[in-house]
Structure 1
């Protein structure tokens, strides 16, 4: 399985708004439950670095994700770096 890992840093004053927009994406995912999608987002301990791990399709089609993307450039301090990754294992309880 292939996944994408996206990492970026927001401006300090934009980090909470970034998190709010990500939470909106997860709210819409909970309503629409796209099949075959695994999506996780992390806010690292520095408070301004975010990491998203997505495996599957469907996130770009979400209204909340489009809103997240629309204003992302204004919130960024360091542009997103995307790396493809191969899933070696996955566990979920």
Structure 2
């Protein structure tokens, strides 16, 4: 999922990709969600410190967490961009001018 985001992250080791997102200043709660999925996912594949033992609540929570991350990183952004793109051209031009003047 991470390489498909609009953050220009190259496919690689998941931990490093999340680190790249952190450098791009993703919200802390998104980083925490991604790391939670990563750690539990790794432990589910490579048994270690976390014992999932078919814990139904944990599995359900992880699916919910994945949905939350998709909503945060993909769906909301697309919804906002779609709505923003429908603003009148003159208003968009004024916003773009304002933002260019800041730099």
* TM tier, smaller: under 0.3
The structure with more radius of gyration:
2
Q: Which has the higher helix share?
A: 2
Q: Which has the higher strand share?
A: 1
Return the TM-score normalized by structure 1.
Answer: 0.27
**Higher relative contact order (CA closer than 8 Å, sequence separation 6+):** 1
